[in-house]
Amino acid sequence: MSIIIIVFINTEFLNFALNNFKRYSPPSQDESVDLVLLFTESRGVDTFARLHSDAGSFFDNDEWQTVSTSEDCSIRLRNRSGDEIVVIAGRQIVTLEKLEVLALGVVAEIPDGASLEGSVASVRECGGIPVLPWGFGKWIGRRGEIVDKYISRLKSSDGVFLGDNGNRLSLISSPTLFSRARENGVFTLPGSDPLPFVKQQHRLASYGFILEGRLDQGSPKSSLQKLLLGLDSQPRSFGRRETLFNFIYYQIAMQIRKRFSF
């Protein structure tokens, strides 16, 4: 399973994801492995809603076909070879403190601008899975203190997760907050989270996590949520994070993109 920020989807996108799942996921004796993409869409983006409403006719060719589930927040995508990827909707929220909260399994937009605790509460009210993702430069200084205090109060029964992503430099160790949260039964969900550049498409599903258990084909989001809430240890991760050269290159590119808004 891999968490991604989604802005578009096409057949090339899915082929990259499928290839990386097969490349980086450890071999399994069980041939029935569920491959899952967890979308997180920002305000104003509704790719999943279009994908879900146009089930069976979203793609221009027949390389991939959409298959409906019983949920409005999930869909299955199947190619001509029989490979299948489960896609679960999600939202990305910017809090009052300029932190991010991910709402896995949520289709409806959740307004930006609420406090961290208020945003997490909104995700729960929507039946979603709240995730507080690590972000470069966002867990230091004043914001770092806010995150630190919030995580120190979390416990496993809160159903809140932390998020890691493939853009974090591979040469450095994990943030200390990950291990501190884990001591309280709060676990970290890794995702590839490719940046909004064409060359980043190849990183789709190149970093993620593995759960033991099967998803219900009719209600994959509900069964995924049950598996996550039943975790008693940190799930295994797969794949790779960013190299030093690419990390520096894309961090500079992101700053240029933000400054000039393109």
Question: Angle CA(44)–CA(50)–CA(52) in degrees, nearest 5?
Answer: 125
What is the pLDDT, as a whole number, of residue 218?
94
What is the pLDDT, as a whole number, of residue 101?
97
Q: How many domains does the chain have?
A: 1
Measured CA to CA, the distance from residue 205 to residue 208 in angstroms comes to 6
Q: pTM for this structure? A: 0.87
Cβ atoms 194, 204 nearer than 8 A:
yes
What is the pLDDT, as a whole number, of residue 80?
87
What is the pLDDT, as a whole number, of residue 62?
73
Measured CA to CA, the distance from residue 105 to residue 261 in angstroms comes to 29
**Phi and psi angles of residue 253, each rounded to the nearest 5 degrees, phi first:** -60, -40
Measured CA to CA, the distance from residue 134 to residue 148 in angstroms comes to 12
Measured CA to CA, the distance from residue 6 to residue 92 in angstroms comes to 10
Find the domain containing 73 and state its range. 2-260
Residues 6 or more apart in contact with residue 143 via CB below 8 angstroms: 97, 98, 99
**In Å, how far from its chain's centre is CA 33?**
18
What is the pLDDT, as a whole number, of residue 135?
83
Residues 6 or more apart in contact with residue 175 via CB below 8 angstroms: 134, 139
Q: Is 249 left (phi over 0), alpha (psi -120 to 50) or beta?
A: alpha
Measured CA to CA, the distance from residue 115 to residue 94 in angstroms comes to 9
What is the pLDDT, as a whole number, of residue 230?
94
Average pLDDT by stretches of 10, the chain with 262 residues: 53 85 73 85 86 67 85 92 92 96 95 96 97 88 94 92 84 86 94 73 84 91 95 90 74 73 58
Strand residue runs (E) in the chain: 2-5, 35-40, 64-68, 74-79, 84-88, 90-94, 100-104, 129-133, 161-165, 188-191, 207-210, 236-239
**In Å, how far from its chain's centre is CA 152?**
23
* CATH code of the domain containing 74: 3.20.20
State whether residue 141 is helix, strand or coil: helix
User: How many CB atoms sit inside 10 A of residue 122's CB?
Assistant: 20
What is the pLDDT, as a whole number, of residue 166?
76
Encoded amino acid at 115, one letter: S
Indicate the angle between helix axes 141-153 and 176-183, nearest 10 degrees: 10
